[in-house]
Amino acid sequence: MEKGLRLPPENYSSWAATARVNENPYVWSRNLLANRLFPGPTLFVEGPYMNDKETYARLQAGDYDGVRMIEGREQRSLFREYAESVAVGVVGYYREILGREREVSGF
């Protein structure tokens, strides 16, 4: 999301139920119920805030192909950018994990 949507990292430092996972300013651990309800890894992502003028205009534009002029800039659908950024992150994570496993196993 940092590269695709160009969003700054969130700051949860004042929340008691959060903690940094590592040195990455975008990754936080939070004590959420879904982590205990679903049998398997649970991925939570937070994207753009609706109270941002540009984000609101992009949300109002809905999903569309190609680019549109929004707030003075040509922009892709926010929905597609968001989905793509999540997919790229998940695929990248698993490629890295599988690459490490191949190095260890020799395959």
Q: For the residues 7-19, what does the mean pLDDT come to? A: 70
Q: What's the CA gap between 96 and 56, in Å, rounded? A: 35
Is the residue at 76 inside a domain? yes
Give a yes or no: residue 2 inside a domain: no
Q: What does pLDDT average to over the chain?
A: 81
Q: Which domain holds residue 85?
A: 18-105
Total domains in the chain come to: 1
Running DSSP on this structure, what letter comes out for residue 65?
Answer: S
Residue 33 inside a domain? The answer is yes
Structural domain contains residue 7: no
Please say if the pLDDT value at position 4 is more than 70: yes
Residues 10, 44 contacting (CB under 8 angstroms): no
* Range 15-20 contact pairs with CB under 8 angstroms and sequence separation of 24 or more: none
Q: Which residue has the higher pLDDT, 83 or 12?
A: 83
User: Does the reported pTM lie above 0.85?
Assistant: no
What integer pLDDT is reported at residue 72 of this predicted model?
A: 94
Confidence of residue 20 (pLDDT cuts 50, 70, 90): confident
Indicate whether 13 belongs to any domain.
no
H or E element, residue 87: helix 78-105
pLDDT digits (tens, 9 = 90+) for 42-76: 777 777 777 788 889 999 999 999 999 999 999 99
Q: Which of 41, 75, 42 is closest to 58 using CA atoms?
A: 75
Q: Is residue 35 part of a domain?
A: yes
Give the pLDDT score at 105. 57
Classify residue 4: in a domain, yes or no: no
Gap between the Cα atoms of 69 and 89, Å rounded: 27
Q: Are 35 and 42 in contact (CB under 8 A)?
A: yes
